[in-house]
């Protein structure tokens, strides 16, 4: 068990933020998470966060995953004092962090996210892992399922995925899996690219357009300059920034501001 005092961190907000779909509530202040094929339980009381893992796993997996070495207080201080909307968004989502997720999983999840809502995306991802992911066991011997590999999904047809209830997205996922499994699209190479090249390379994948590529860049590759615009953000921009969002003010971390705004919009639906 690893215990840390962490500022600007709220696991409940992160779990509900629409970045990742494999968090599960276990009770007040307690969550489980499956990522990188590992199972983690977290407990938070105020600024004290307990990670149910050893020191090596914490340092190599979860510290970077939760972006714990970044100063989110600095990001918040950059918000314009007269920007009432963004000040409100930061106050509402004060504990958010931009996660560093596994690239293939993030690609599939955000293909699924198109014209979808968080509850349905979460259920689809759960079913996909249950049916096609490797069965693993946590330290207590309880079974869980890793995210299915590109090779596993490349061997499927869209009909094979029918039970997942993906609709038209099933054929996109199978096609993208085949592109990755065959080496036509090299995810390792994309992981080393700078933001503009990575975004363009991701858009070679079937089912990945501009918005999905931006989400993947932000939530997997940690290109925090990415600023995905979905329906929620478009409505926010129209209502509060009709002349355009001040991206230049937040150069290099506009994606952090996007996440505050997106979470704020979710709370006011």
Q: What is the mean pLDDT of residues 17-36?
A: 95
Q: Is the pLDDT of residue 173 over 90?
A: yes
74-86 pLDDT, tens per residue?
999 999 999 999 9
One of 81, 199, 211, 243 is an active-site residue; which one? 211
For the domain bounded by 2-69, which CATH number is listed? Answer: 3.30.310.260
Give pLDDT, residue 139.
83
Q: How many helices (H) and strands (E) does the chain have?
A: 14, 7
Q: Give span(s): CATH 3.30.310.260, the chain.
A: 2-69
Cβ within 8 Å of residue 167, ≥6 positions away:
none
Q: Largest alpha-carbon pair distance within the chain?
A: 55
Q: Is the pLDDT of residue 268 over 90?
A: no
DSSP category for residue 17 = S
The overall average pLDDT reported for the chain is 95
Give pLDDT, residue 269.
65
Rounded Cα gap, residues 115 and 56, in angstroms:
39
Q: What is the mean pLDDT of residues 101-107?
A: 98
Burial 158-180 (b: 16+ CB within 10 A, else e): beebeebebbebbbbbbbbbbbb
Give pLDDT, residue 141.
87
Q: How confident is the model at residue 222 (pLDDT cuts 50, 70, 90)?
A: very high
What SS3 string covers 29-42? CEEEEEECCEEEEE
Protein fold of 103-219: Endonuclease III; domain 1 (1.10.340)
CB–CB of 17/25 below 8 Å?
no
State the burial class of residue 106 (Cβ atoms within 10 Å of its Cβ: 0-12, 13-18, 19+): buried
Q: Give span(s): CATH 1.10.340.30, the chain.
A: 103-219
Give pLDDT, residue 48.
97
Q: Using the structure block, give the residue that is written with the tokens 């300059």.
A: 225
Cα atoms found within 13 Å of the Cα of residue 96, Cβ hemisphere only: 25
Q: Is the pLDDT of residue 12 over 70?
A: yes
Q: What is the mean pLDDT of residues 209-225?
A: 97
| Helices within 134-194 (DSSP H only) | 150-154, 169-181, 187-191
Active site residue 211: yes
Q: Is the pLDDT of residue 128 over 80?
A: yes
Task: Name 44's bridge partners.
Answer: 49
CB–CB of 202/107 below 8 Å?
yes
Could you give the C-alpha distances from 37 to 66, 137, 144, in angstroms and in order?
16, 10, 9
Give pLDDT, residue 6.
96
Give percent above pLDDT 90 in the chain.
94
pTM of the model: 0.94
Q: How confident is the model at residue 227 (pLDDT cuts 50, 70, 90)?
A: very high
Give pLDDT, residue 138.
87
């Amino acid at each position: 068990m690893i215990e840390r005092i962490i500022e600007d961190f709220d696991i409940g907000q992160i779990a509900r933020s629409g970045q990742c779909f494999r968090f599960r509530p276990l009770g007040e202040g307690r969550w489980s998470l499956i990522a990188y094929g590992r199972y983690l339980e977290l407990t938070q009381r105020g600024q004290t966060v307990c990670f149910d893992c050893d020191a090596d796993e914490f340092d190599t997996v979860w510290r970077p995953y939760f972006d714990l070495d970044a100063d989110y207080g600095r990001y918040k201080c950059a918000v314009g004092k007269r920007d009432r909307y963004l000040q409100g968004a930061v106050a509402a989502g004060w504990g958010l962090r931009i996660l560093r997720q596994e690239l293939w999983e993030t690609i599939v999840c955000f293909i699924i996210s198109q014209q979808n809502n968080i509850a349905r995306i979460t259920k689809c991802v759960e079913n996909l892992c249950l049916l096609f992911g490797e069965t693993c066991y946590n330290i207590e011997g309880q079974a869980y399922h890793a995210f299915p590999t590109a090779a596993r999904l490349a061997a499927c047809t869209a009909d094979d995925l029918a039970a997942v209830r993906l609709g038209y997205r099933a054929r996109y996922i199978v096609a993208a899996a085949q592109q990755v499994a065959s080496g036509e699209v090299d995810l390792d190479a994309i992981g080393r690219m700078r933001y503009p090249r990575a975004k363009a390379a991701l858009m070679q994948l079937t089912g990945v357009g501009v918005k999905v590529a931006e989400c993947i860049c932000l939530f997997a590759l940690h290109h925090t300059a990415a600023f995905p615009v979905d329906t929620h953000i478009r409505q926010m921009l129209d209502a509060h920034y009709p002349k355009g969002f001040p991206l230049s003010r937040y150069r290099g971390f506009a994606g952090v501001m996007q996440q505050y705004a997106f979470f704020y919009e979710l709370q006011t639906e």
